[in-house]
Amino acid sequence: MEERPDLAYLLLISAVETIACDVLRDYQPTREEILASRGQFAEDLSVLGDDRETVDTIVLRAARDDPWNKRKFCRFLLDNIDDEIWAEDVLFDVPEMFRPKRENLANTLRLIYDHRSRAVHAGRPFGAVAGVGTTPGVPVRAMQELFAGGSKMPPVTWFERVVNRALLGFMERATRWRESLA
Measured CA to CA, the distance from residue 59 to residue 65 in angstroms comes to: 11
For the chain, the structural domain boundaries read 5-26+68-181, 28-66
CA nearest to 105, candidates 69, 145, 154, 146: 154
Cβ(105)–Cβ(162) under 8 Å?
no
pLDDT reading at 88 higher than 80: yes
Residue 66's pLDDT band (cuts 50, 70, 90): confident
Distance CA 74, CA 77 (A): 5
Q: Compute the distance between CA of residue 19 and CA of residue 25 in angstroms, rounded to an integer.
A: 10
For the segment 2-37, what is each residue's pLDDT rounded down to a tens digit?
Answer: 899 999 999 999 999 999 999 999 999 888 888 787
Backbone angles phi, psi at 94, to 5 degrees: -105, 115
Q: CA-to-CA distance for 134 and 138, rounded, in angstroms?
A: 9
Within its chain, how far is the Cα of 109 from the centroid?
Answer: 3
